[in-house]
Amino acid sequence: MVDVDKWRFWQFFNQAGDLEWIGVMRPTAHARIDRQKIWTLLPGQRRLIANWFISQDHQLEESERRWVHDSIDGWDFLDAAIIIPEPPKDDVERLSRPEAVLTFDQITDIPLLKITGKRDYDRIIRERGN
């Protein structure tokens, strides 16, 4: 099971109410930027990548946000990892071109396995069908 002491889990819905992203934060990280950074799942790559535009959106007042940010527990994160759609190609390319909040060297990634553990990782892969 996921390490709930290390990670905080999120899901992000567009204004129409469709789930677009799931992600994690490290609220106990030493560096301030790492406490504010949100890594979002790229399901096909089985990785979470530091997402500068979700991180930036998270800093805004709720009424100004592009996405609805919903804190979830580790179990909900695992379930959402099975159904989350692949992000649009333009968004994936945009992730590697930081415009605000993060510098290029802060665009880090985390293997999904590190977040979930082997048993839950295998379940996600099996139930996603890839």
For the ranges 3-7, 34-38, 65-69, 100-104, which has the lowest average pLDDT?
100-104
CB contact set of 81 (below 8 Å; sequence gap of 6+): 22, 41, 43, 112, 116, 124, 128
Residues 8-57 have pLDDT tens digits of 999 999 999 999 999 999 987 777 777 789 999 999 999 999 998 999 99
> Contact at 8 Å (CB) between 124 and 78?
yes
Q: Average of pLDDT values for 103-109?
A: 74
